[in-house]
Structure 1
Amino acid sequence: MLGLPRGTVFLSEWTKEWAETFIIEKNKIESVFPDENIRVHHIGSTSVEGLKAKPILDIGMEINNFEDIKEYIQGLERIGYKNMGSSILPERYYFIKGEPRTHQIHLFEKGNSFLEEQITFRDILRKNNSIKERYELLKIKLVEAHAEDKHKYAEMKTGFIHDVLEKYEY
């Protein structure tokens, strides 16, 4: 089940429903932009089988450039996403869906290094159970310490993620 109430952080056991829901959502997004050259990725912990995660579906979406951003904003709004703008997170537009929040889209220009890092980290977790287990233990500790502060929770994971990415030289 998806949905994270505002102001809280908790983890749920991974479920196959997350992968299935991503496919459904990807198809919706692609149907809104049928003639566009876009790529839609399942990112974040819900994309890693067996990994506990905040119950929010993270989607990375790539477009050629931001010149036609109004078209993409309007299209995503038609399928229920709220545009949160481009000032919340670096080099991307951010969209949310659901109350409580169930989906979030990080919309990037193609070749963005932040998205490439997210995809690489996801792929490392999918292939390496030892790293996945260490990451999950860290997340559990951080939820216990920062259950009311999603920003602190996310910030405290950054060092681990960068260490893994450096070690695996993507």
Structure 2
Amino acid sequence: MLGLPKDEVFLVPWTEDWTKDFLSERKRIQNKTGKFIVDIHHIGSTSVRGLSAKPIIDIAIEINNFYDGDQCVTPLKDLGYSYGGVNILPDRHYFYKGEPRTHQIHMYQTGSKFLIEQLNFRDCLRNNDKIKREYQELKMSLSESHKHNKHKYADEKTNFINSILAKNPNTKEK
């Protein structure tokens, strides 16, 4: 199941379908915007086997030059994405697809601190069952207490995420 209605927060159990959906979407994106792309990464909780998640596929697209993102707007619109611009989240182009929302793209320049943090946190969750369980419990609790406030849900995960990143020396900007 994919799709999270606006202003709702709920989690669903992890499914292999999320990996398949990411791989399919990655291929579509690569075919439309490939000359600007360094790499396409599956990020967020849907990328972590066994972790419940909001049913939205988060995708990080790595580009050589931040301004190459402007060249990707029309091709991504052709794939059904809307462009949220560069002012919603720091140092990234933001795209989203569907209502209810099914996909989000965070487009970063190679070496971006935010990209590195996304990848390091994902990899930590993939490789450390204890941290993954703690994060799962936190997310479940927050999804219950903030069912209709995605910003509060996200904000209250920040301290946990930052504490994990602080322990990981690989989060430095390249």
Shorter-chain-normalised TM-score: which range? over 0.9
Structure 1 distance, partners of 2:107, 2:35, is 17
**SS state at 2:34 partner:** coil
Q: Which residue of the partner structure matches residue 89 of structure 1?
A: 89
AA aligned to 1:142 is L
| Deviation of 1:153 (Å) | 0.4
**SS state at 1:60 partner:** strand
**SS state at 2:139 partner:** helix
TM-score normalised by the chain length of structure 2:
0.94
AA aligned to 2:132 is K
Structure 2 distance, partners of 1:129, 1:158, is 19
**SS state at 2:36 partner:** coil
* TM-superposition CA deviations, 1:67-92 (whole Å, max 9, x none): 33332111111111000111111111
Structure 2 distance, partners of 1:20, 1:160, is 29
| Deviation of 1:166 (Å) | 1.3
5+ long unaligned stretches in structure 2: none
* TM-superposition CA deviations, 1:96-147 (whole Å, max 9, x none): 0011000000011111111110100000100110000000000011111111
Structure 2 distance, partners of 1:104, 1:30, is 15
Structure 2 distance, partners of 1:89, 1:158, is 14
Structure 2 distance, partners of 1:88, 1:54, is 20
| Deviation of 1:58 (Å) | 0.2
AA aligned to 1:129 is D
Q: Which residue of the partner structure matches residue 17 of structure 2?
A: 17
Q: Which residue of the partner structure matches residue 107 of structure 1?
A: 107
Note if contact 2:37-2:61 (Cα within 8 Å) is conserved in structure 1. Answer: no
**SS state at 1:32 partner:** helix
Q: Which residue of the partner structure matches residue 126 of structure 1?
A: 126
Structure 1 distance, partners of 2:3, 2:169, is 34
| Deviation of 1:168 (Å) | 2.7
**SS state at 1:157 partner:** helix
| Deviation of 1:165 (Å) | 1.2
Structure 2 distance, partners of 1:36, 1:11, is 33
Structure 1 distance, partners of 2:109, 2:96, is 18
- Paired residue total: 170
Q: Which residue of the partner structure matches residue 31 of structure 2?
A: 31
AA aligned to 2:158 is T
Note if contact 2:5-2:100 (Cα within 8 Å) is conserved in structure 1. Answer: yes
Note if contact 2:63-2:69 (Cα within 8 Å) is conserved in structure 1. Answer: no
TM-score normalised by the chain length of structure 1:
0.97
Q: Which residue of the partner structure matches residue 161 of structure 2?
A: 161
Superposed, which structure 2 residues align to 1:132-143 within 5 Å? 132-143=132-143
Structure 2 distance, partners of 1:61, 1:36, is 10
Structure 1 distance, partners of 2:65, 2:130, is 37
